[in-house]
Amino acid sequence: MAKFKILRIPEIFSKAKIKYQLSLVYLLAVFIPILVLGSFMMKNSSDLLTNYYQDMLDTDNLRVKTVISDVTSQTTDVSEELAFEDAIVQLLMQEENWAEGKMSPTVAVASINSYIYTNSQIADISIVTDNPNAEGYTHFTVATEDDKLTRWYQRAQQESNIFWELFSKENRKGQTEWNLTLVRQIPLGNSPYHAALLIKLSDTYLQTHILSPEYTTELVTDGGQIFYSSKKENYGQMTNMNIDYSKRYQTFSGSYWEGTNKVFYGVSTLHIALSESKVYIITANTHAYRDITSQTMISIALIVAALALPATMIFFFTSYFTGRVNRLRDAMRKASKENYDIVAEFAGEDELSDAFKDLQVMVKRIQDKDAKMYAALIKEQQLLNEQQVMEMKMLASQINPHFLYNTLESIRMQALTAGNKDVSNSIKLLGKSMRYVLENTGTSSITLKKELDYVENYLTIQKMRFGGRVNYSLEVEDGLDLEKYLILPLLLQPVVENAILHGLEQVEENGQILIRVTKQDEYLRISIRDNGCGMDEEALKALRDKIKEQKIDTSSSIGLSNINRRIKLCYGETYGMKIDSQLGEGTTIELTLPKLYS
């Protein structure tokens, strides 16, 4: 089915007119690639811009988080010093009138004022106490009954930990001010009085250090109230952001629609040092979507322009080109009808003009071509006749290999009739060997059993020839079914022949050829070992190098290279031949083959 679809493309081109072909070329080579590539680049550009704005948003969120972390850490450090300052603690524990007591309130007030002046992030510091003597002193406030009922006051009396609360009050203009305030207990030892330290953060300081022309920022307490916002009207309101306050950390980013505008936002959590209070930093970018949309519209305009300009050029070129093609077609049509009265001139200097000139040359030579074609037909017939003669000669020279095998069988039967069993047996073994070679020449595989039978036939013939000089044995691993595995035909006999001709060359008697077949994992291992003279290290290295040369040769030792090459060509580089030898102890050739099943 896939092949059919591929073949349809040239078929469509061959059946369509040139102007439609050019239009199709424009569609396939220009319109679709530009549209696909442009869409991809536009999408990629939009994604890159989105990621850029989101990264910048996260960076600004981190900046604000760092500012709040620094402000709260510095304020916490101030509270650590004030809560344990001896002048303040002793004053709060004093039961007599402060104006007449040992500890003057002037020192405590001056100390608090110095912290306010030297820490610009602090808007105000106040100490709320139930000691009635604090009435009328700057920064000291006597707790009212309403104060004592508040959650923050009760918590300050019960806990020694620092925590942060959002406080509000009306200023002189009647406007409500909201301040994130550090609250902590001032430990008074065994005194009957209690006191709480309140340090309010300066909203002006936060506006100065946080406000950004590109981003809107909201700072939210762990109760969900906004204590800082780029929009003043949001102070004290509950945030619209979906925050799970039960989780220890809330860090996420995304976007939401605000009318027709898409807003990118990022939320992170700040755990204020030395307290269990949390601040949520919400940063938003309201103009990023407009910038991305603007960039997308520019990309679309460029894609449209890139498509329209080639389309216009293709239209005008097609009209001009098809007109010239039609004139050339008319001239060729006349020539095809043996009307050689064609126009003498053709406008242009391109390939079409060259084609028209070639047409003129063709018209002039067409008569000569007819004569040459007739002569070529005669010559072709002569070649066919010569080919038939050659084929007859080849057929006459062929000798039917089966005729030779049948002749040997007749001679064997005559020897058997004459009572010469040795000759009969020799001819029988030779015939079986010939039949194996004839039947498996050109085949790709044979069972291991048949190949070993053929090798045994060969060894039996050699034993008849050399007598006690050549003896052999075959060892097969227990459980290994020789009928089950396939190998290349005529693979083992050359190795055995090499062992007899070279390994046992100098052996006068009791020469041994041991063939061992084993299996290991996914491999078959067939080793042929002789007990001949063997080789020294230099001769062994030379033989190994010769086998690696990958040359086809018919010499005896190089025949091993052919065997090795056949194995690697058929089965791969993992398989092949390994040769080991020691002088005076014989040579072992091991073939590593895959386990191929029949």
Q: How far is CA 132 from CA 97, 192, 224, 485, in A?
A: 9, 12, 35, 108
Interatomic CA distance for residues 124 and 139, integer angstroms: 8
The segment(s) of the chain belonging to CATH 3.30.450.20 are 52-285
Q: How far is CA 63 from CA 104, 283, 430, 459, in A?
A: 43, 10, 96, 91
Residue 134 is given by DSSP the state G
Residue 187 is given by DSSP the state -
Give residue-wise pLDDT tens across range 506-529: 888 888 999 999 998 889 999 999
Query: How many other CB atoms sit within 10 Å of the CB of residue 304?
Result: 13
Extract long-range pairs of 142-147: CB within 8 Å, 24+ residues apart.
none
Give residue-wise pLDDT tens across range 265-276: 999 999 999 999
Residue 27 is given by DSSP the state I
Query: How many other CB atoms sit within 10 Å of the CB of residue 553?
Result: 13
Residue partners of 125: CB distance under 8 A and separation at least 6 = 78, 82, 112, 115, 116, 139, 197, 198, 199, 200
Tokens coding 284: 């938003």
Q: How far is CA 367 from CA 270, 339, 354, 372, 377, in A?
A: 98, 13, 21, 9, 16
Asked whether 452 and 492 are in contact (CB, 8 A), the reply is: yes
What is the SS3 assignment for 224?
coil
> Which amino acid, 139?
H
The segment(s) of the chain belonging to CATH 3.30.565.10 are 442-597
Residue 31 is given by DSSP the state I
Asked whether 79 and 197 are in contact (CB, 8 A), the reply is: yes
Per-residue pLDDT at 15:
59
Please tell me the pTM assigned to this model. Answer: 0.52
Q: How far is CA 312 from CA 23, 303, 318, 321, in A?
A: 11, 15, 10, 14
Spell out the per-residue pLDDT of the chain, length 598, in tens. Answer: 444 444 455 655 555 677 677 778 878 888 888 888 988 888 898 889 989 999 999 999 999 999 999 999 999 999 999 999 999 999 999 988 888 878 889 999 999 999 999 999 999 999 999 999 999 899 999 999 999 999 999 999 999 899 999 999 888 888 889 999 999 999 998 899 999 999 999 999 999 999 988 899 999 999 899 999 998 899 999 998 888 888 888 888 888 888 888 899 999 999 999 999 999 999 999 888 888 888 888 989 888 888 888 888 888 777 777 777 777 777 777 777 767 666 666 666 677 777 776 776 776 777 567 567 767 677 666 655 554 444 434 333 334 454 455 556 556 666 667 666 667 666 767 776 677 776 666 677 889 999 999 899 888 888 888 888 889 999 999 988 889 999 988 889 889 989 888 888 888 888 899 999 999 888 999 999 999 999 999 989 998 888 887 555 544 444 788 888 888 888 888 999 999 999 989 999 999 999 888 7
- In CATH terms, the fold of domain 442-597 is Heat Shock Protein 90 (3.30.565)
Tokens coding 423: 């000759």
Interatomic CA distance for residues 64 and 58, integer angstroms: 10
CATH class belonging to 52-285? alpha beta
Q: For 586, left (φ over 0), alpha (ψ -120 to 50), or beta?
A: left
Query: How many other CB atoms sit within 10 Å of the CB of residue 162?
Result: 24
Interatomic CA distance for residues 547 and 558, integer angstroms: 6
Interatomic CA distance for residues 371 and 193, integer angstroms: 134
Residue partners of 318: CB distance under 8 A and separation at least 6 = 18, 19, 22, 23
